Amino acid sequence: MAVIGLLVVMPLGSLLGIAAEGDAEIWPHLIANVLPASIIDTLALLSGVALLAGSMGITTAWLVTAHRFSGRNALVWLLPLPLAVPTYITAYIYVEIFDAAGLVQMALRDATGWSRADYWFPEIRSLPGCILVMSVVLYPYVYIAARTMFLTQSASMLEVARTLGASRFKLFRVIAIPLARPALAVGLSLALLEALNDIGASEYLGVRTLTVSVFNTWLNRGSLPGAAQIACVMLAFVVGLILIERYGRRDRRYALSAKRPRVAQPAPLFGRQAWAATVLCSLPMIMGFVLPTLFLLRETLRGGLVSQLNTTFLSHLVTTISLSALATFMALTLAILLVLASRLVKTPLTRGALFVAGLGYAVPGTVLALGLMTPLIGIDTMIGAVWRSLTGERIGLLLMGAAGGIVLAYVIRFLPIATGGLSAGMDRVSPVVEDAARTLGASRRELVRDIQLPLLRPALASAALLVFVDCIKELPATLLLRPLNTETLATLVYGHASRGAFEDGSLAALVIVLVGLLPVIQLVRSAENRLKAGRSSGSGS
């Protein structure tokens, strides 16, 4: 248990050590020239995403939960789909569509005969453009949490409010939003952590966030201590987001009703109200999923699917799958050990290890990569010294040179997803079953092998899918820790976009999106099944 906790804490300790090694002149330079603009852009980006993604998520969740209108049943499934598209891919696509040389403005100039100076068009390579891109991708975090909250509420509150003459808008403003506050805190914290972790979208759209500053200071200016000091500021943002999330959930019990509440039935909408609801719910989904997916399909078919499926692409695909599969196996193995230990041996050590393991997802990939660099190089150096003393031969960097750093970063970052999924699955295993097995003389090993692990198989499959797909989509840590000439699908797309040839990476981007659909569909199916079961039990009581 201590080793697993050390694995997560090690990069943070290394990061602090690197930051402390910097020259005395670095910090004043950062304060004067780098941090002010980066902090302002980061705060503006996070505030904008919180406002826009939060509004989209709560509004759509309330409409599809509290009302019936045309397309509602389909939208329940379609609204979470933007989570399948990474923010950096959406940013690249929006530039291809809405930039001055993009499809929309070129069509506008062809249709009107105008030149670029004859009209005004919103600039996608800007802070507002970045806020829009991230919001249409990340709002499902809020939507899923808010919809779950709305569906678990008793009908009595809404009925009392309607009896007192409250309008639909007042119901939403006075009841829905306050009830959704815990869900809003959880969903927004996840969305903002993703926005803070992003490097591809913010860099490409010209927003100098703290993540971009770490990247530029480290790789472009060659200052590792300076990058570490900026990363420490990022950690302060992470701590702030976690505290805000905890504060938002501090009174979450007020949002819970009776054990088996009578759930409100959706109220029908007619005419203009129904059409308005359909449009309001469809627009975020179209912008976040339909538009990017159709564009990728178009570019892939235009470029020739067969010609893009060459040996180079297949090699990058195999590399991506191999690294993701290895990281998934390691993360699940550690998660099983943690969850079973916390179930069988309830001590402060096991609880503490489980808590520490859950911190990895909150650490941005850029910060994680920076913190892992020094320990991994140190381990490689020791291995090389031992090998040379035994054989008299030199070997290269064993971990860093063989993508071991990438795998370790994946494991640390996505271990909380595995532990969370398995913990939820373990909570569904009744202690009565375990007590019965012990009464029949089952040893601890037999209890794990014959009872707990078989019952955990569905949770294991779901956790494996989530971790595997998140590894495929991860860009910041992969970009910074990859060995020379090693490409994953994410870095391949990033490289093509950086060279102004995103269309050459359209197939890789399409594969990422299609693979990303699998856990989203599984997540929605599981959530809807649980909610239906809850509504059935509520109506039957």
Tokens representing residue 386 in the block:
């031992």
Most confident option among 4-13, 215-224, 327-336: 327-336
* pLDDT (mean) for 510-536: 80
Tokens 């949002």 locate to 255
Range of the domain at 132: 2-540
40-80, pLDDT tens digit by residue? 999 999 999 999 999 999 999 999 988 899 999 999 999 99
Distances (CA, A) of 27 to 31, 41, 218, 364: 6, 19, 14, 21
CA pair distance 229, 412, nearest whole angstrom: 21
pLDDT score recorded for residue 387: 82
CA pair distance 52, 49, nearest whole angstrom: 5
Q: Is 146 exposed, middle or buried (0-12, 13-18, 19+ CB in 10 A)?
A: buried
337-396, pLDDT tens digit by residue? 888 888 777 777 777 777 777 778 888 899 999 999 888 888 888 888 888 888 878 777
Q: Which helix (H) or strand (E) holds 533?
A: helix 506-540
Number of domains composing the chain: 1
Q: What are phi and psi of 68, to 5 degrees?
A: -115, 130
Tokens representing residue 533 in the block:
């079961």
12-51, pLDDT tens digit by residue? 888 888 888 877 778 888 888 899 999 999 999 999 999 9
**Which residues are within 8 A (CB) of 84 and not within 5 positions of it... i.e. 6 or more apart?**
289, 513, 514, 516, 517, 520
**Which residues are within 8 A (CB) of 527 and not within 5 positions of it... i.e. 6 or more apart?**
144, 147, 148
Tokens representing residue 19 in the block:
């930051």
Distances (CA, A) of 276 to 52, 78, 203, 272, 281: 18, 17, 35, 6, 9
pLDDT score recorded for residue 82: 96
453-511, pLDDT tens digit by residue? 887 888 888 889 889 999 999 999 999 898 888 899 999 999 999 998 898 899 999 99
**Lowest pLDDT segment from 59-73, 95-109, 237-251, 427-441:** 427-441
pLDDT score recorded for residue 264: 62
pLDDT score recorded for residue 424: 75
The model's confidence at residue 258, banded by pLDDT at 50, 70 and 90, is very low
Q: Is a pLDDT exceeding 80 seen at residue 400?
A: no
| DSSP per-residue string spanning 294-327 | HHHHHHHHHH-HHHHSSHHHHHHHHHHHHHHHHH
Tokens representing residue 106 in the block:
């070129």
Tokens 């499926």 locate to 309
Q: Which residues of 63-96 are buried (b: 16+ CB within 10 A; e: fewer)?
A: bbbbbbbebbeebbebbbbbbbbbbbbbbbbbbb
> What percent of the chain clears pLDDT 70, i.e. is strictly above it?
89
As a whole number, the mean pLDDT across the chain is: 85
Rama region for 485: left / alpha / beta (φ>0; ψ in -120 to 50; rest): left
Amino acid letter at 22?
Answer: G
pLDDT score recorded for residue 530: 65
CA pair distance 273, 264, nearest whole angstrom: 20
Q: Which residues of 97-133 are buried (b: 16+ CB within 10 A; e: fewer)?
A: ebbeebeebeeeeeeeeeeeeeeeeeebbebbbbbbb
Query: The domain spanning residue 82 has which CATH number?
Result: 1.10.3720.10
259-271, pLDDT tens digit by residue? 555 556 778 888 8
